């Protein structure tokens, strides 16, 4: 019997965040205000989000043998994430993300992947025991697709549900068939869905069209996140379901998508249906926009449940 556990295979980075009145244009220098350094990387964020949302979580990834890498490992542990399958790379430094956030809470991000690019099949295979015991595998695209493919195939071998957040989506929108055919649910945002299907996603109607195209690629279940509108769930054998988000005062959208994915995985691992897991994820994503930075913005299970019970949806 599967444990109520999430295993995350993905990236980790040290986030360097600066606030500005607006995002600079090409060649422009503008003054920033608030500055902070936070634990980040989509894999790391989603693992911490799942841990804070109440799940038992294990993380598989690579950081450098440097102070940033050690800090990230310690941060995982503080967020109830098993870091025993983490690798400290002796040849590459810890990943870095440089994030600029404007007064509306929108951001632009530059990443240097570094050690994340060295995650390999052997790193995944060493975690097979925890993979076999986990109810859900959660992945993104900030590590080599070969590593994601290996993880998806290994999870499928053990009957572990496979979730892929295709972020950042390839510029050409294409992913290996061997990866997609081993994915149970794919979770793109509007931009990622458009890159993968060629369909501009702006609302529920266009998201439905994009979801049908995504199903043709392999995954039988589709979740397209639509920012403040919420998320569309197209689940195998069931009618499409549009799930609204929650009203909050957004100041920084950094890691909102990661909060959504991590909380969704936690709820699913805990026995919730995909529909209820999406509702839980929407609440977590909304809460994440109310605080600056990635790691500080990830909400706890109590905070998510309180919002679901007391707040109105958009």
Residue positions annotated with a catalytic role: 258
292, 256 Cβ separation under 8 angstroms: no
Q: Are 100 and 107 in contact (CB under 8 A)?
A: yes
Half-sphere exposure (Cβ direction) of 35: Cα atoms closer than 13 Å: 3
| Antiparallel, parallel or unpaired: β 136-139 and 161-164 | parallel
Q: Which residues have C-beta within 8 Å of that of residue 107, sequence separation ≥ 6?
A: 23, 99, 100, 101, 252, 253, 254
Tokens of 123: 């790193």
Token reading at 298: 């990830």
The alpha carbon torsion through 140, 143, 148, 149 (nearest 10 deg) reads 130
Tokens of 297: 């913005």
CA distance 92 to 182: 30
| Residue 139 half-sphere exposure toward CB, CA atoms < 13 A | 33
| Cα distance between the two ends of the chain | 38
Q: Which of 303, 272, 248 is nearest to 135 (CA)?
A: 272
Q: Is the distance from CB of 261 to CB of 8 less than 8 angstroms?
A: no
Measured between alpha carbons, how far is 200 from 308 in angstroms, rounded to an integer? 30
């Amino acid at each position: 019997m599967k444990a109520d556990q999430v295993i995350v295979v993905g990236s980790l980075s040290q986030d360097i965040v600066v606030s500005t009145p607006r995002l600079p244009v090409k060649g422009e220098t503008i003054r920033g205000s608030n500055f902070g350094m936070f634990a980040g990387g989509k894999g790391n964020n989603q693992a911490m989000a799942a841990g804070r949302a109440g799940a038992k979580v294990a993380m598989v990834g690579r950081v450098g043998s440097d102070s940033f890498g050690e800090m990230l490992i310690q941060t995982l542990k503080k967020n109830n994430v098993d870091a025993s399958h983490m690798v400290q790379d002796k040849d590459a430094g810890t990943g870095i993300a440089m994030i600029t956030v404007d007064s509306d809470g929108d951001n632009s991000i530059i990443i240097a992947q570094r050690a994340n690019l060295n995650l390999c099949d052997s790193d995944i295979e060493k975690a097979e025991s925890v993979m076999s015991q986990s109810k859900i595998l959660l992945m993104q695209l900030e590590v080599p697709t070969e590593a994601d493919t290996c993880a998806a195939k290994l999870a499928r071998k053990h009957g572990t549900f496979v979730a892929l957040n295709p972020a950042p989506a390839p510029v050409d929108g294409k992913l290996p068939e061997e990866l997609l055919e081993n994915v149970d649910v794919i979770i793109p945002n509007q931009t990622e869905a458009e890159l993968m299907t060629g369909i501009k996603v702006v609302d529920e109607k266009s998201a439905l069209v994009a979801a049908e195209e995504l199903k043709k690629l392999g995954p039988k279940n589709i979740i397209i996140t639509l920012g403040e509108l919420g998320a569309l769930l197209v689940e195998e054998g069931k009618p499409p379901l549009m799930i609204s988000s929650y009203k909050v005062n957004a100041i920084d959208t950094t890691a909102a998508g990661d909060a959504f994915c991590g909380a969704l995985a936690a709820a699913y691992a805990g026995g919730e249906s995909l529909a209820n897991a999406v509702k839980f994820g929407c609440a977590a994503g909304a809460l994440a926009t109310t605080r600056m930075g990635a790691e500080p913005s990830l909400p706890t299970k109590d905070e998510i449940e309180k919002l679901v019970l007391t707040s109105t949806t958009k």
